[in-house]
C-alpha cells in the first residue's frame, strides 16, 4: 500500500514529523517498508510565465524569452526547449538556485545575458528524462514556489501490510489507524448522497447471493469521458503508483485508494438487457481489459448481461464493455464479493489486480453504497452528466458477533495493569461499539475489521494502542525451591558414566530405521510406518536399539576397528490397543577382544559373560536374575532374559549366527538391552554391621543333570539360606572325564560369618549339610567325591 503523506494529512494530521509517524505506524503493526521523498531538495524555483520570445541572434535552436516571475521586471532567459512558447507557464529557476544536478548562475549564452533557467521535469529531479519543459496549468500563480504549487515537499509511504489488515488498503483506513494510535482528530471526506436526476436504470439479478451478498449500481448519462482529470487527483494517483488513464477510470481508481472499495464502469451502450451476477457457464470465455482471453472455470463469478460475460467479478473487467473517450453513458458498479469466492481466481489466470488483492482479503461490506455515491459525486464534478437511481440487491451480509473482552484477562496476557477506564479510552479511539458489563466488555467489531473474531484479537488491539514501547521489559520472576528427590533415584548420566568407565562409547542413532532391521532383529513384521520418511531406508520407527548398534559396528569394522564397545540410550516405539507407547531403553554392544591387546595376559575374545558382568554392574547394589530365553536377534544357546524382583527388564546375549552371516560380521557381537525406567529406580544400600570374626569358607560340589539350571539351584538354596551365610556363588563348571554323559559338575562357594562370635565346626557343617540336602531333595543332585 503506497500513498502520499499530504493525502493522509488531509484526513488526519498528528503532531508528528514524517519519521516519527512512520515509527508510530510500524509499532502499531502497519510496517512502513519505505519512506521516500517525492522530489529531491532544491530551492529558488518559482512559477514563471513566458511573456514573449524571439530567436537567438547567434543560435538557431535557442530562444531569448522574457519571463514574468512575479518580481517586478521580467527576466531575460535563454531557452532551447522545443515546447517553449508565449503564454506558457513553466518552472523557472532563479539565479542562485541549487538544482539536483546543477547550480544556476548569471550567465551569457552565445553573447546574450540569461538570468535563470526554464526547467523540465528531469532537471527538477521529478523524472529520469523528459522531452521538454514542464508545462503547468494556465491557472498556476506566477511567482509561487514550485515546491508549494506541485506539493513537492510531500513524502511517500509504502506499507508492508499483513494479510489480516485489509482495512488499511486505503488512505481512509490508514487515517483511522493514525487517529487511533496518536489520538489526533479524524476528518474523513463526507459521502454526499447524489440525488437521481434521470429515471434510467438497469435491472440487476444476483443468482449467487452467497458469493455476492451486496450489489449496487446506477446509470450515469451525458458524461464527457474525455474530460481532463484534475491535477490534484492525478497527482495523488501517480504518487500511489497508479498511472492516470482517463477521467472515468481515474475516478474509480481514486475511490479504490481512498475508501478501499473496488469499482467498475461499464459502457452502457455495450450492455444488452440487464445485469446478472452468476458463475461462469461451461466453456465460457472472456477477453479481459489487458487483452488476455481467459477460459472461465465454473467456480469463477462473472458479471454478465443477457448474452455474455462482461467482467470477471472482483478481478478485472472485460474488453467488450470497456469505457473509452467516446463513451457517453456508463453503468457504475459497486459490490461486495465474499473473500472465499474471489480468493485464488486471479492467480489461476496469472493475474494480480488491485481489486482482487482487496476482495480476497475482505472489503468493508457497509461501504458498498457509500463508495458508489462518492464516485458518482466525483464523476459529475469532472465529467458532467446526470445520475439515475441506485439499484441495490442485498442478501445476507456477514454478521459482526460481539466479542467478550475481560479486563483481568487483558492484564494477565499483556503483563501490565490496564484499568477499565483505560480500556474504554482505547476502544473509543478505535471507534468500536461496546458495552461494559461488570469487569468485561461486549465489543462489536466494525464492518471493516475482518481480523477481529476472538478475545485475543482485541487484546492485541489494546497492546497496539497502548504502545509496545510502553510495555516494560521486566525480567521474569519466580521462586526457586529445592525439589525433593528420592535417595534411591538414579540419573541417566550416572548410567552413562558407569558404562563409559567400563570402556564403552556412547552413540546416538535415528529413531527411524530400515524395515528389514525390524523384521530380522526384532521379529516385527508390522512396525510403525512413517507417512513421509526422509529416506527409503528410514521408513519405520524402531522397536529395539539393536539395529542401530549393529549398523554402528559395521561402520567401524569397515574402517578397520577391531575392538568395538558401544552403548545408546533412547526411546523405542510400539503400538498398543490404547495408542502408542515409547519406552526408554539402554543398550550396549561388545565386539572383538575382551581387553586391549597387551603382554600381561593372553588375547581372549569377548563373550556372553563379559556383557553379563556389565549388566550386573548397571544394577548394583541390586542383583538381577538371568534366565535362558529365545530372542529373534540372539543365539538360542547364548541368550538370557534379565529379571529384577520378578519384573522382566531386558535381554543379554550373542548375536544369532544367521544375522552375523547376513550382516557380514567376522565374529558375533554380544549385546544387551534393558528398560531404562527400572534402572533409574535404584536402591539405597542398607547398613550392615561389619564382623570382626574370621570368614569361614566351604565348597559344595554336586553332579546334576545337564538340563538343570544353575539359577534354579541358586534360587533353591537361597530360599533356605541361614543368616550366617554372607555369599553363595558358583565358581566352577566341569564336564568330561569322571562325569557321566548328560551330567555336569557344579561347584559352589559358601562364605559364612557371624558378627557376634566365631562359628564352630558344628555350625558350619550344619549349614553345609542343609544346603546339600536342598540340592539333593529338590534337584536330584549328588555330592561329588
Helices (H), 560-683: 608-619, 657-662, 676-681
Give the distance from CA 437 to its chain's centroid: 37
Is 49 annotated for ligand binding? no
Ramachandran area for residue 47 (φ above 0: left; ψ -120 to 50: alpha; else beta): beta
Contact (CB, 8 A) for 235 and 151 = yes
C-alpha cell at 39: 522530489
Contact (CB, 8 A) for 271 and 310 = yes
Q: Which residues pair with 783 in a beta bridge?
A: 702
Find all residues with CB under 8 Å of 139, minimum gap 6, and list them.
Answer: none
Q: How far apart are CA 243 and CA 237, in angstroms?
A: 7
C-alpha cell at 222: 451525458
Contact (CB, 8 A) for 342 and 359 = yes
In total, the chain counts a number of residues equal to 785
In this structure, the number of other CB atoms found within 10 A of the CB of residue 691 comes to 14
Q: How far apart are CA 708 and CA 322, in angstroms?
A: 102
C-alpha cell at 285: 470465455
Contact (CB, 8 A) for 752 and 726 = yes
Give the strand pairing for 505-506 and 564-571: parallel
Contact (CB, 8 A) for 383 and 248 = yes
Is 457 annotated for ligand binding? yes
C-alpha cell at 152: 513537492
Among 407, 317, 332, 412, smallest CA distance to 372 is for 332
Q: How far apart are CA 401 and CA 444, in angstroms?
A: 6
| Strands in 238-396 per DSSP E | 263-267, 275-279, 285-287, 293-295, 301-304, 309-312, 316-317, 330-336, 386-387, 391-394
Find all residues with CB under 8 Å of 365, minimum gap 6, and list them.
Answer: 213, 214, 336, 397, 398, 447
Helix/strand/coil percent split, the chain, to 5: 25, 30, 45
Collapsed DSSP state (helix, strand, coil) of residue 130 = coil
Backbone angles phi, psi at 22, to 5 degrees: -60, -40
Burial label for 397, CB within 10 Å (0-12, 13-18, 19+), is: middle
Backbone angles phi, psi at 132, to 5 degrees: -170, -170
Q: Which residues of 434-467 are buried (b: 16+ CB within 10 A; e: fewer)?
A: beeeeebbebebbbbbbbbeebebbbebbbbbbe
Is 123 annotated for ligand binding? no
Is 54 annotated for ligand binding? no
Find all residues with CB under 8 Å of 402, minimum gap 6, and list them.
Answer: 442, 443, 444
CA neighbours within 13 Å on the CB side: how many for 356? 21
The full 3-state SS of 432-452, as one line of letters, equals CEEEECCCEEEEECCCCCCCC
Cis peptide before 621 (omega within 30 of 0): yes
Which segments are annotated as binding site for Mg(2+)? 451, 457, 460-461
Which segments are annotated as binding site? 451, 457, 460-461
Amino acid at each position: 500500500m503506497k500513498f502520499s503523506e499530504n493525502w493522509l494529512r488531509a484526513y488526519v494530521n498528528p503532531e508528528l514529523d514524517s519519521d516519527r509517524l512512520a515509527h508510530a505506524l510500524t509499532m502499531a503493526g502497519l510496517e512502513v517498508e519505505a519512506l521516500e521523498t517525492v522530489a529531491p531538495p532544491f530551492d529558488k524555483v518559482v512559477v514563471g510565465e513566458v511573456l514573449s520570445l524571439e530567436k537567438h541572434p547567434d543560435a538557431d535552436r535557442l530562444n531569448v524569452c522574457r519571463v514574468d516571475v512575479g518580481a517586478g521586471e521580467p527576466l531575460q532567459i535563454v531557452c532551447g526547449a522545443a515546447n517553449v512558447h508565449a503564454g506558457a507557464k513553466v518552472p523557472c529557476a532563479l539565479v542562485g538556485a541549487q538544482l539536483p544536478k546543477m547550480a544556476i548562475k548569471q550567465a551569457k549564452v552565445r553573447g546574450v545575458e540569461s538570468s535563470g533557467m526554464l526547467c523540465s521535469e528531469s532537471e527538477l529531479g521529478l523524472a529520469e528524462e523528459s522531452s521538454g519543459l514542464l508545462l503547468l496549468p494556465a491557472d498556476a500563480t506566477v511567482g509561487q514556489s514550485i515546491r508549494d504549487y506541485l506539493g513537492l515537499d510531500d513524502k511517500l509511504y509504502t506499507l508492508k501490510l499483513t494479510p489480516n489488515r485489509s482495512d488499511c488498503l486505503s488512505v481512509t483506513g490508514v487515517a483511522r489507524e493514525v487517529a487511533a494510535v496518536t489520538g489526533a482528530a479524524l476528518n474523513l471526506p463526507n459521502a454526499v448522497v447524489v440525488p437521481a436526476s434521470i429515471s434510467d436504470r438497469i435491472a440487476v439479478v444476483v443468482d449467487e447471493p452467497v458469493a455476492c451478498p451486496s450489489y449496487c449500481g446506477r446509470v450515469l448519462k451525458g458524461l464527457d469521458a474525455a474530460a481532463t482529470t484534475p491535477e490534484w487527483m492525478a497527482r495523488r494517483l501517480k504518487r500511489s503508483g497508479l498511472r492516470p488513464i482517463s477521467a472515468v477510470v481515474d475516478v474509480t481508481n481514486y475511490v479504490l485508494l481512498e475508501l478501499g472499495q473496488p469499482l467498475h464502469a461499464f459502457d452502457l451502450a455495450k450492455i444488452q438487457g440487464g445485469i446478472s451476477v452468476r458463475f461462469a457457464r461451461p466453456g465460457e470465455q472472456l477477453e479481459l481489459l489487458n487483452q488476455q482471453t481467459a477460459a472461465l472455470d465454473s467456480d469463477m463469478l462473472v458479471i454478465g448481461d443477457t448474452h455474455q460475460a462482461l467482467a470477471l467479478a472482483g478481478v478485472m473487467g472485460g474488453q467488450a464493455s470497456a469505457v473509452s473517450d467516446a463513451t457517453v453513458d456508463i453503468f457504475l458498479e459497486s459490490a461486495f464479493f465474499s473473500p472465499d469466492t474471489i480468493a485464488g481466481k486471479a492467480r489461476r489466470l496469472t493475474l494480480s489486480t488491485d481489486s482482487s488483492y482487496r476482495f480476497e482479503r475482505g472489503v468493508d461490506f457497509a461501504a458498498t453504497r457509500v463508495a458508489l455515491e462518492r464516485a458518482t459525486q466525483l464523476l459529475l464534478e469532472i465529467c458532467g452528466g446526470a445520475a439515475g437511481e441506485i439499484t441495490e440487491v442485498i442478501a445476507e451480509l456477514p454478521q459482526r458477533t460481539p466479542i467478550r473482552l475481560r479486563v483481568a484477562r487483558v492484564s494477565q496476557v499483556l503483563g501490565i495493569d490496564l484499568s477499565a477506564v483505560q480500556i474504554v479510552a482505547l476502544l473509543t479511539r478505535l471507534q468500536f461499539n461496546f458495552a461494559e458489563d461488570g469487569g468485561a466488555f461486549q465489543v462489536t467489531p466494525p464492518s471493516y475489521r475482518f481480523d477481529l473474531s476472538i478475545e485475543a484479537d482485541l487484546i492485541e488491539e489494546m497492546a497496539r494502542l497502548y504502545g509496545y514501547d510502553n510495555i516494560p521489559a521486566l525480567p521474569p520472576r519466580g521462586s526457586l525451591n529445592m525439589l525433593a528427590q528420592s535417595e534411591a533415584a538414579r540419573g541417566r548420566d550416572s548410567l552413562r558414566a558407569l558404562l563409559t568407565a567400563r570402556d564403552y562409547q556412547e552413540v546416538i542413532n535415528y529413531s527411524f530405521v530400515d524395515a528389514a532391521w525390524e523384521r530380522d532383529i526384532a521379529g516385527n513384521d508390522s512396525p510403525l510406518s512413517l507417512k513421509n520418511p526422509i529416506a527409503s531406508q528410514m521408513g519405520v520407527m524402531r522397536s529395539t536399539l539393536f539395529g542401530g548398534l549393529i549398523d554402528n559396528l559395521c561402520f567401524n569394522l569397515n574402517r578397520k576397528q577391531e575392538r568395538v564397545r558401544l552403548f545408546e540410550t533412547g526411546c523405542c516405539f510400539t503400538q498398543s490397543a490404547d495408542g502408542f507407547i515409547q519406552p526408554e531403553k539402554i543398550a550396549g554392544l561388545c565386539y572383538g577382544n575382551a581387553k586391549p591387546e597387551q603382554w600381561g595376559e593372553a588375547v581372549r575374545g569377548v563373550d556372553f559373560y563379559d556383557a553379563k558382568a556389565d549388566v550386573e554392574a548397571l544394577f548394583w547394589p541390586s542383583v538381577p536374575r538371568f534366565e535362558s530365553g529365545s530372542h529373534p536377534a540372539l543365539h538360542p544357546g547364548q541368550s538370557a532374559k534379565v529379571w529384577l524382583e520378578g519384573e522382566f527388564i531386558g535381554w543379554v546375549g550373542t548375536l544369532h549366527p544367521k544375522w552375523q552371516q547376513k550382516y557380514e560380521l567376522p565374529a558375533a557381537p554380544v549385546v544387551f538391552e534393558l528398560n531404562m525406567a527400572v534402572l533409574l529406580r535404584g536402591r539405597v544400600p542398607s547398613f550392615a554391621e561389619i564382623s570382626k570374626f574370621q570368614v569361614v569358607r566351604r565348597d559344595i560340589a554336586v553332579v546334576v543333570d545337564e538340563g538343570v539350571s544353575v539359577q534354579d539351584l541358586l534360587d533353591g538354596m537361597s530360599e533356605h539360606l541361614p543368616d550366617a551365610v554372607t555369599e553363595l556363588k558358583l565358581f566352577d563348571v566341569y564336564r568330561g572325564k569322571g562325569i557321566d554323559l548328560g551330567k555336569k559338575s557344579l561347584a559352589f562357594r559358601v562364605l559364612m560369618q557371624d558378627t557376634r562370635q566365631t562359628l564352630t565346626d558344628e555350625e558350619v557343617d550344619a549349614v553345609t549339610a542343609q544346603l546339600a540336602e536342598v540340592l539333593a531333595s529338590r534337584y536330584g543332585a549328588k555330592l561329588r567325591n
